Amino acid sequence: MRKPVIIQNSKQLSSFLQFLRAENFSRCQYLRQLEIWTCGEDEDVIQDLIETLPRLANIKSLSLSNAAEDLESDPALPRAFATLKSLRHIEFYGVKAGTNFAPTLEELQCAKWVTFIEPVIPKMPIYHNMRKLSVEHHGLQLRMDPFIRAFPNLTHLHVGAMDYAPAENLDLETVRMSHEKNVEKQRASGGRWAHLEHFTGTLVDLYTAGLTCHIRRITIVKVQVEEEAMGMLATMLRYTQPVHLKLGELTGSMLEDDPDGAFLSILRGEGVSNLLNLSVYIRFNPDDLMMDLRKTINNLVSTLAGLQLNFLELTFDVNNIDPAAREEAILEELLRHRRGTKMPEFREQGTALLTPAEYSLNYLDVDELIARIESIPSLEAALVMLHSSRRGVKKFERAIAKGSSRLAGPEQWRSWLPGKDPLT
């Protein structure tokens, strides 16, 4: 029984219990993962389950899809499940049942979570050992103070809203309201997380949560909104004061030197005063095709030189500035491959076919750029990359290392997932 055993109904549960109870229950020791959709209403089957559960000595993972009803079907059933001392990961539907785990719970994932801003939160137990929380597929009205109150010693938080794509589907008014309410409730109660080490999620997730505590490491996987993004980022960096920051999928327009909150202004602000480790991925889009990328990249590096960074990773992606040309090159490459010819690199393109943004990269002095980054006094290691599939574009990848220092790998930014924790 190396693979998970999935029980969908009472009939399947009865058959599986008969299988386990054969040979004097000797097969019970081999069960590792069990998923029960429903226990059903057959009293004999439930009684067999109650008698069998204490014999599952090596079970590690349990999923109860209908826990709210199943655990109430027989008062002896919760006690039988409580005998599973080897259990390390449990998944169930039914919030109240979670109060039984208050003394021992360390990791929790909440899926399809809905909270309301105004109602009074009833008294709940404190989960002192709780360290890692994932809130998945939440609505934009996300209330954080119940989590802060229940899990005071939280160290890792992952937040993932429902998928609002395209960005026009985002209700920004609800996002702003949730942010303001969360900030207000933390200030009113004085309650905030004191030990939060790592947040992962989108920029909208971070802003909606409105956390006012310091967070040592922040991984922003995506920036959904264009016009509001830099204002949201500036606000949250002032609150959280990260030491390690990863920003995914900034756009070219966010690099404009705009005093009203563009990225360069943020890099000069108080929100990055503690920053030692920065990773930024910038994707240039068709809206940026007239941009002077040489000037844009140089301005960014000049601003970064004013920070006390130890580690820096910069990725510039210009593949999407002219998607039509890229798709044409890929199609031609695939057709040649199908004809049996040697797989070529992307087809040669004259510089006349390049967009002004791509063409400006030919005037970027890469050696001088890397030298400026390397001259940052506090810097220990860096990696700078420019990705392009176009033959006429100057692309590069340069690493900087002083002494034995090296950039940490991508695992430092990985989000925590229940049962799979690469961070510890």
Q: Is the pTM of this model over 0.75?
A: yes
**pLDDT reported for residue 301:** 96
**pLDDT reported for residue 218:** 97
Output the tens digit of pLDDT for each of the chain's 424 residues.
778 899 999 999 999 999 999 999 999 999 999 999 888 889 999 999 999 999 999 999 888 887 767 877 888 888 898 888 898 887 765 556 566 677 888 888 877 766 666 666 677 789 999 999 988 877 778 889 889 999 999 999 999 876 555 566 678 888 899 999 999 999 987 789 999 999 999 999 999 999 999 999 999 998 877 778 999 999 999 999 999 999 998 998 899 866 555 899 999 999 999 999 999 999 998 888 899 999 999 999 999 999 999 999 999 999 888 766 555 655 665 666 666 655 444 444 444 478 888 889 889 999 999 999 999 999 999 999 998 877 777 788 999 998 777 787 777 877 666 544 332 2
> What 3-state class would DSSP assign to 278?
strand
Name the DSSP class of 30.
G
**pLDDT reported for residue 32:** 93
